[in-house]
Amino acid sequence: MTGNGATDRRVVVTGLGMVSPLGLNISDSWDAIAAGRSGIDYITSFDAEAFDTRFAAEVKGFNPENYLDRKEARRMDRFAQFAAVAAQEACRQANLNPREMDRYSVHVVIGSGIGGIGTLTGQHQVLLERGPRRVTPFLIPMMLADMGSAQVSMVTGAMGANYCITSSCSSGADAIGTGWELIRHGQAQVVLAGGAEAPIAPLSVAGFNALRALSRQNDNPRRASQPFNRHRDGFVLAEGAAVLALESAEHAAARGAEPLAELRGYAATSDSHHLTEPNPTGQSAAAAVTAALDAAQLSPADVDYLNAHGTSTPLNDWHETKALKLALGDDAYRIPVSSTKSMTGHLLGAGGALEAALCTVALREGLMPPTINLDDPDDECDLDYVPNASRPAELNVVLSNSFGFGGHNSVIVLTRPGL
């Protein structure tokens, strides 16, 4: 378990960047979240007619050449393009240019669960149809999962360590948690941390269908992601990226940067149970919540809102609810909990980063995102899930849960600056 309660330097968020199924930047994505709009629709990137699931949450209208050098963009898989563009936005909001500071003090940690699967499967088809000599020399450097972090390093000029965290659907949250650890222990002044994913490819959809993990509600895609609802039948595959500019509070103050939030705590545990199913006891996930609060030196009584992992699969939503009751006790019924995946779909390794970014905006805006499509709650899911409409509230402490295949449980605590 990480997150042992020791604190050294305080860590603040000074910039956010996002490319999501709801918009190509933070502002547009948040506006859609606040309005309860879904980004889920029928797949357009390939012919999905023969698939059990024919819809996903695609990023719409994205042209990488609007943001990146044309030659550079063509040498990036789509997931790395998303990461690079989100990092640029985070740096702009933070008024941060690594090329104008000690570049070795700026690190990059970008999580991805799958990496360049679009490039891998596309070039495999080239191999089968046209032979080995027609495979692009950029196959390997485009498909590697660490190329999200590498490309962020190159487009921003950051020259500290850059690497990828791969922990399934906890990858983005773990990348942010790793950035927190690097800064608070004095190994970095700035970390560009987040997650990126572009998994909407035939092989991915077929694979998740084979697992029976995806919703098959093809008649109404916008209602297919329905966390905590009685009729949920699986998650909705999504793509995108989010990057947070993290800094030590001292570094931010020295350059006059206004913190958006403080990253106060992080913890991770493992279920040690099953390849894909969460531990039915909920104890390990609950331990991650407790440890994250301990690291933040806070208690359940301090929590104002929690962004759930909330995938819309039967097992996840049951077991996450159980874990929250174990970790939060009587406060579980007081604390509003919502799943933004009801609108964004599930960005896999980028999901935790996207949700941490949304939590940061929620703190500043005083608005809790809704869980849409929640019309008939499951009897076993009996918490306050902020159904169908966003809710104004004074928010000081928020949590974000991320859980992943393989038993990963990761929790982030964000607070108002200076709390």
Catalytic residue ranges: 169, 309, 346
CB contact at 8 A, 363 and 383: no
Give the span between the Cα atoms of 278 and 406, in whole angstroms: 8
Give the span between the Cα atoms of 294 and 415, in whole angstroms: 14
Q: How would you write the chain as a 3-class SS string?
A: CCCCCCCCCCEEEEEEEEEECCECCHHHHHHHHHHCCCCCEECCCCCCCCCCCCEEECCCCCCHHHCCCHHHHHCCCHHHHHHHHHHHHHHHHHCCCHHHCCHHHEEEEEECCCCCHHHHHHHHHHHHHHCHHHCCCCHHHHHCCCHHHHHHHHHHCCCCCEECCCECECHHHHHHHHHHHHHHCCCCCEEEEEEEECCCCHHHHHHHHHCCCECCCCCCHHHCCCCCECCCCCECEECEEEEEEEEEHHHHHHCCCCCCEEEEEEEEEECCCCCCCCCCCCHHHHHHHHHHHHHCCCCHHHCCEEECCCCCCHHHHHHHHHHHHHHHHHHHHCCCEECCHHHHCECHHHHHHHHHHHHHHHHHHCEECCECCCCCECCCCCCCCCECCCEECCCCEEEEEEEECCCEEEEEEEECCCC
CB contact at 8 A, 371 and 391: no
Q: Which amino acid is at 183?
A: I
For 241, the token pair is: 């990226």
